[in-house]
Chain A
Amino acid sequence: MDILLSLGAGFLEVFQPMNMLVMFIGLVLGMLVAVLPGLTLVMGVVLALPFTYSMGLLPAIILLTSMYVSGTYGGAFTSILFRIPGEPIDVPLLWDGYTMARNGQPAKALGWTLFAALCGGLLSATVMVFLSHPVAKFALTLSSPEYFAILLFGMTSVVSLGGGSISNAFISLLLGLMLSTVGVDSIYGTERFAFGVPFLQDGIEYLLVMVGAYGLGEVFTRLEKGFKSDEKVGDSDGKIATEFPTLAEVGQLKGTFFRSSILGILVGIIPGAGATIASFVAYGAESQYGKRRKEMGTGIAEGIVAPQTAATSSVGGALIPLLTMGIPGSGATAIILGAFLLHGIQPGPQIFVSSGPMVYAIFASLFVSIIGMCILGYFAIKPLVKVLDLPEPVVSAFVVMFCFIGAFAARNNLSDLYVITAFGILGYLCEKLKFPIAPMVLGSILGPLAESSFMTMMISENNDWTVLVARPISATVMVMAVVSLVYPIHRQLRERRLTRRQTP
């Protein structure tokens, strides 16, 4: 009952004109970045960050979360209509969404997507509301070994779930962890790897790593591959409409909705996994266990509902570890964490005690954002797909500009521009040499938390690291961390052995 009352108060807060305005802007921007192939969702949220510096905390978080949620949906339009996935999240929509559109039912395909985003989003928001408080209470009972084990699990899961080879992902993660050690350490006050350079003595802000590697690095990569100059990518002049599925049709797919929502929430909760993995995993699960699994890929509704429901429901899941433990599990939630920290709030188990009303307002804003996103998606689809006509060189030039302003505005320090340019080049090299960027970014974010938990644990336990396997919770999480790292290697080695045996 307390939760519902607090949530009600949160809704009242969200309905303030200023909050509704930033939410609307966030929803539009999220859809735009999801539609534009040159801009990823994480890049979009990064670019929006500098605009939040002068805002209060709540409007800032509302802006970023509404961008995050609508970014998981906007790219569906171009995937279904033009076979252009704006985001990797939308790739599974090509298989059934685009096929359904080609089979003469584009409006129906769009209707299924909209309904899937609505259901998945609302269910995950509900789960988030009721799960966050107990998780925060549980997190209060944890001490440094458990925290370290959870952080380690987050880091190993980003290595095993992400793109690229596991070795490269592991190196990328370790590189991120090393970056976080630059500067003066928090326990002894010792200067590490700063080479006497003043701005390195302050440490390397993870936001600079993110803006550089995700923003500039991506632009440099696309520049090398050649921008699509002034050409129309899709025929956005055709008739575009959305046709909702009937209640009977929805009823037939209730299993798919439920299964994919739960999968999306669970994948969202796992640090390192995000909407893209949720989308692929849900499509894969539907292909294996769905009633019409043999028809997947031929343009059936299940192939649209599963990835879209899971992608949107992963948002609520990802916000749970962020708010209750201060652990961001994905790029977008890392930026939201950055916004919290810039406003002097540290998310974690104490947040319900220190900033309870604000947390419930964030919960409420997620519900309103999801509904707003669907209304916007229904009415504004035609102008939204028009942004595909924007020339990529122009968009990219402005992306670089916003990257620079975002980096500069955080500390009003011109040296930070050099740092993000260096990370832009590093991001480009990583992309070129097939080292995934996400583990490096997550390493630079989780590095200080992991080091501080590790040092606290070692100091309080007299350098006895076996405490990690001696305590039940930390031992369980450590086993999960090891399994998450070893299992994919074992599986692929087994597959290779089988292939070798079958090849004469």
Chain B
Amino acid sequence: MYRYIISRVLLVFPTLIGAAALVFLLMRLIPGDICLVRLGSGGTSFSAQALAACHAEIGIDRPWIVQFLEFLWGLARFDFGTSMWSGKPVVVEIATRFPVSLEVAILATVIAVALAIPLGTISALRQNSWIDLVVRTFSIAGLATPSFWLGIVSILIVLDVTQVISGHPWMPPIDYVPLWKDPLRNLSIVILPAATIGYRYAAVSMRMTRSAMLEVLREDYIRTARAKGLLRRVIINRHALKNAMLPVVTVIGIEFAFLIGGLVVTEQVFNLNGIGRLMVLSVQNQDYTLTQALVMLVVTIAVLSNLVVDLLYAWLDPRIALA
């Protein structure tokens, strides 16, 4: 068992190094560079010397291998350097944007769980009833709607509805304030984005809950419990739901990592100053250091949640570790 855990943890490193190599290479294969974007997008004339000076200033004129080793050495020391675009430490750039993204992600998870578990359970208990049909349609529709589209439409609906009701169109504030400073304002900013992400997330988890519940309800011990005449509520709460939770939690855990990807589009729609938008921006600006750091952050989150899921499974089913 310990051998398995150690080897599984060690396997994280080749993945991280591989991802580092991939992002490093991809960013440099994109034509153009940050100096060109910065000097040239205003349309003014700039000399070759100015371009070279800019390259030298941020160090992208050095051989790739030197830059790559420096990047890896920085990663090893948790030193991500400074953003090539703003000249500020990457850690600062990310830290100022992280709270809003995290908040949206957590709230989306809460919404997803709050919808998925009760609806998925009811759907399974009343399989093939009209409730089941409605819930399944609702969840398949969630998988079929582009989330940015849902975001755009929801803002417009809020604007139109408030205009009709009060004559003054209303929309959430456009500048983020932290939860502890002004909870109400904060929530009114993050609730719509969280709901649009949460819907898709709920759709996935709802399907998982339903099928896991169905599986469990068919197990012998549930039948036995029923035969013993236990109350329906007790059966559902104490036995069925509890056992169905593992796969559901797994899906929620894995999806949480993918959620960061979903933030990229949603933060654009809602103009949230989070890490998803920062990623789009840093890629557009061809800011190598910032993009590399962000990708490593996202990859690390994904890899770690995978690791946790794997270890959890090994702990529950020791045969996996022996294989």
The judgment on whether A and B are partners is no
Residues of B bordering A, CB below 8 Å: none
Q: Which residues of A line the B interface, CB within 8 A?
A: none
